[in-house]
Structure 1
């Protein structure tokens, strides 16, 4: 953050080039001592001013796994509570014990804890450190990136002692699932919920978009914690994430041709390049529609599977449907991956079903597609729609979370909204509604190209880069440091 000495603390999932050993620290946890190794790397942002960020990596053998960060094909790792509980303890020790550049950070700091993986940090701050006079001037902002993942584990009476927490922390962490969500008849639904603990004990809650800050206070978006979120009151806010300034079609060296809002000729070249690259028929007149995302229930690709794709590709002589090509890229559900492969075979030259992920192809899609589909059932922020708008690709989105904040609907009843429109809303999220909205988008593309280009230019005019978001974060940091601790024991 600008003007602040900044440390990023993250698990060391693998060996990182340039990261060197800094210190060891023995931490008592789960009934025994564990030696934590801290590795360090400095990232200089501006050599002239000396602006830099300190990166600290927490090395533990339990972070080295052959599968994903949190799970493998068999499900979530059984020791995640241990892994990320010890990580939270290590993150709290880092400012106190690590000598970086000749001094430690000390205990007058602000922590920004992200999601359930760091959920125990504000709990430790409130129940373990502050009561003993350490971190009395420190504050913690908890950032919610996705309320659908909370870090819940079946309750055990030895949890508090294993986690080195006093009895006073019980109610902050203890959570009971309703009967319809329990696994078997004798299941009491009792669990430890790391996100609940963080929401209660932190000094402020931020989400990754303004609309998502509201949604987590509702039964639909709160995932059983809506009352806790509502209880934060004025200490709950949302800040839309930004995109990196490397996403710029006027200077991007990785795309087929550069372009900007005043001259879109380069975008047509990017479209032709994309079609050729992915084995699609080279036809500039078709509407090239893309989807990039995980193949999961959250991302809503099953809505497209429910008759939308076949309808889009069927030429009924109306000048709208049929003149379409589709690109799907994502990994996840095995059945959906198989579906992508099958529709590519069925519609050879008209559909690309890319079961996987390639950042180069993603960039080509952002530059070359005409429309981007984001039918997410919920989307806390969403990055693809902001990149797409920057590259002149109109998003067709479910009106939820950060999608609603960044996309303005061309079909809105308010003329003032239509004047600045840059995409299309689907609401409610259903296959029939998706067809209705896509008909409007495709009819505009094929029969009113000047209006389509107006929407494109509207999208390219919006500033989605990080400096704007950083200013809002700095404001909330100042607010939080100026206030007394919000949590009272």
Structure 2
């Protein structure tokens, strides 16, 4: 078994903007359950400081060089079950309103990564594996290899980089190479970090890590192609024999219809039919939808962006409004998509509800109270929502891409297998055809629908199998 440090830019239970936080909130515990020593390090954002500062323990203080100045670092820690969490504190860089989206993001996360590298020395903590997540941590392998190779302690570190979404790469101007990262200019000349006239954190991580993983087997193959590789497909093909696709899981203690405190009526496979109907009725009341047990309620919990496939829905708003369904949408994102759903709700009160923003408890109630869950993504590295919906006996309707293809098996009307519905082409007509097909099963083949619900709830969406695969990966590196 291995000693592992997870380095990430967000993680539950402390802070979340996307699926990365769910992974960091549950994968370390699953790895610890299998005998590994797992620690996590995150930036100390304002949201964390405001809520948790009194529970944190001071570890140490030191400085790192950023923009040719020595900048102070303070490290704090706490325990979450068997997992130790470290936090890198710098009020100017991290105690802001949002986690990302600032002009100095490159400098902020260069500082974070430098702070983590020096943290090993300051705490005399030397894990077997440093597991980096996404561009915000992807320069760590490069910086260690290029600037600490004289130190045996650093030379023994093994690096894993997980790609959660290739669309976000951390591309910045070349001046950062020396000023913030402290790296030699020849890395720009030889191409190791160069990208489009500047530097790429993600490209560097792909080249310098010992192993590269992504969050589903299908996405691991997709990113080797120009369609999904986001201009890094050639770099990924250089590392394809070290590229692993390991599907995500979810925390079964959080996502559990039998105990979930956010839903009014608890259920399992035995009393699914009776109590899920009660949750549906309560959700309809809460959202101002017509309380009707017989209409198919379709749920959406998502960022409303081009990636998530909502342009397909915008092509079919009239057909969607005319379909024999109710629609409950929770999310925020592009103004064009938000406006379309807001107008749709105004024109179809009682049939459509659009809740702009995010509400964690309401998300749980939508998973529990909906009959069908819609995820028509253009691309989806793994996806968490389809796993949550299946856990609650809500059948996902997805496009066959990335982790959606790996986790959702389409309904087979002949042998009654499957745990949801899917379509292959990124095409609005194919989406609507599949939606009407699902509606036909819901209204006219009740026994089949109930079988699919049972199949969905029987689907293993835990971290156990994935954690075992990570163990295999870690062991390969440790035993080299």
Q: Per the shorter chain, which TM-score range?
A: 0.7 to 0.9
Unmatched segments (≥5 aa) in structure 2: 1-30
Pairwise mapping of residues 43-122 of structure 1 onto structure 2 (< 5 A)?
43=80, 45=81, 52-64=82-94, 66-71=96-101, 77-98=102-123, 104-106=124-126, 108-122=127-141
**1:387 Cα offset (Å):** 0.6
Distance in 2 between the 1:473 and 1:266 partners?
37
Question: How large is the Cα RMSD of the aligned pairs?
Answer: 1.7
3-state DSSP of counterpart to 1:172: coil
Q: Distance in 1 between matches of 2:375 and 2:107?
A: 35
Q: CA deviation at 1:312?
A: 3.2
- 2:376 match: 375
Q: TM-score, normalised by structure 1?
A: 0.86
1:482 match: 479
Q: Secondary structure at the residue paired with 2:313?
A: helix
1:109 Cα deviation after fit: 2.6
Residue 87 of structure 2 aligns to a residue whose secondary structure is strand
Structure 2 counterpart of 1:239 = 246
After superposition, give the CA deviation of every residue in 1:322-350 in whole Å (9 maximum; x if it has no partner).
x3100111111123222222211110111
Alignment of 1:218-257 (within 5 A): 218-245=225-252, 246-257=254-265
Asked whether the 8 Å contact 2:162–2:214 carries over to 1, the reply is: yes
Given that residues 113 and 119 in structure 1 are in contact (C-alpha distance below 8 angstroms), is that contact kept between their aligned partners in structure 2?
yes
Query: In 1, distance between residues paired with 2:76 and 2:89?
Result: 7
1:64 and 1:167 mapped to 2: Cα distance?
28
Matching of residue 166 in structure 1 with residue 157 in structure 2: no
TM value normalised by structure 2: 0.88
Q: Any stretches of 5+ residues in structure 1 without a counterpart?
A: 46-51, 72-76, 99-103, 177-189, 315-320, 484-489
Count of paired positions: 439
Mapped partners of 2:341, 2:377: distance in 1: 18
- Please list, as runs of the form range in 1=range in 2, the aligned pairs for 1:144-183 lying within 5 A after superposition: 144-156=163-175, 159-160=177-178, 162-170=180-188, 171-176=191-196
Distance 2:332 2:137 in 1: 26
* Equivalence for 1:184: none
Instruction: Give SS of 1:480's match.
Output: helix
Equivalent residue for 2:60? 23
Deviation by residue 1:81-109 (Cα, 9 ceiling, x = unmatched): 111111111111222212xxxxx323x53
The CA deviation string for residues 203-261 of structure 1, in whole angstroms up to 9 with x for no partner, is 00011111111111111111011111121132111111111122111232331212222
- Match of residue 436, structure 1, among 420, 433, 438: 433
| 1:280 pairs with 2:289 | yes
| 1:277 partner SS | helix
Deviation at 1:290, TM superposition (A): 1.0
**Structure 2 Cα separation of the partners of residues 89 and 434 of structure 1:** 46
Aligned partner of 1:294 in structure 2 is 303
Change over 3 Å in CA distance of 1:105–1:65 after alignment to 2 = closer
- CA displacement at 1:67 relative to structure 2: 3.6
Structure 1 segments of 4 or more deviating over 3 A? 64-67, 131-134
Contact 2:423 2:430 in 1 (8 A): yes
- 1:311 matched to which residue of 2? 319
1:326 equivalenced with 2:327 (yes/no): yes
CA distance in 1, matches of 2:465, 2:83: 19
Q: What residue is the counterpart of 2:5 in the other structure?
A: none
Question: Aligned-pair distance for 1:7?
Answer: 1.9
Match of 2:357 in 1: 356
Greater mean alpha carbon deviation, residues 396-405 or residues 467-476: 467-476
Tell me which of 214, 218, 222 is aligned to 1:215: 222
2: distance between equivalents of 1:132 and 1:313? 64
